[in-house]
Chains A and B, each alone.
Chain A
Amino acid sequence: GAVVSQHPSWVICKSGTSVKIECRSLDFQATTMFWYRQFPKQSLMLMATSNEGSKATYEQGVEKDKFLINHASLTLSTLTVTSAHPEDSSFYICSAKSNRGGSNQPQHFGDGTRLSIL
């Protein structure tokens, strides 16, 4: 149980392109999903918290107009990197937390998306 699917797993595109990444919880409902980013030799860094039916909460330093998050249902959140540039090249990974079982529930992660902007 607690499977999170993320796709695409790898994207290579030209500078200026917008890229959409999908995150789905396959066997549970998730009011809250999270988006993280990891640069080489760094730890996973939280970008934003995505709540179903409301606006995402962004971490300090993360541009909300650059990284558009939509959480339209209890099983789907999307991250769109708008007008991507080479400095946006990174590993993006989502996670989801189940609605059930109280507040101390772990986040379950997708396999991540490697984004390369040429």
Chain B
Amino acid sequence: DQQVKQNSPSLSVQEGRISILNCDYTNSMFDYFLWYKKYPAEGPTFLISISSIKDKNEDGRFTVFLNKSAKHLSLHIVPSQPGDSAVYFCAARRGGGADGLTFGKGTHLIIQP
């Protein structure tokens, strides 16, 4: 049962435009959400996170939005740059003292020049 879903396996965006990556979850006990970026042959690199008590967190070109009622979060990258081309993973923490993360399958973002 996939508790964290990233329904778009890939996304192509023109350089300079906004990239929006989406993530849906089913477990209402998740209390902390993270986005990771992964290049080939490397481990995931932490990008940005958000606590379940917030609805927005911004860090430079990256903003994460959380809609708890819809169990949906999104990552906005603006403006998109060629170096942003990578696989992006959405992850959620179970809460209740359990620190393990549940991951989505990832979205491959391709920034077109």
Residues of chain A touching chain B, judged by Cβ–Cβ distance below 8 Å, are 2, 4, 6, 32, 34, 36, 41-46, 49, 59, 93, 95, 97, 104, 106-112
Contacts and interface: CB of A to CB of B under 8 A. Distances in A.
Contact of B43 (A97, A104, A106, A112): A112
Interface stretch (B11-19, B67-75, B96-104): B96-104
Interface of B: 2, 4, 32, 34, 36, 41-46, 49, 51, 89, 98-106
Which DSSP category, helix, strand, loop or mixed, fits chain B's interface?
A: strand
Contacts of B45: 109
Nearest to A35: B100
Nearest to A107: B101
Nearest to B36: A109
9 contacts: A45-B103, A49-B100, A59-B100, A104-B32, A106-B34, A107-B101, A109-B36, A109-B45, A111-B41
Contacts of A109: 36, 43-45
Contacts of A107: 34, 46, 99, 101
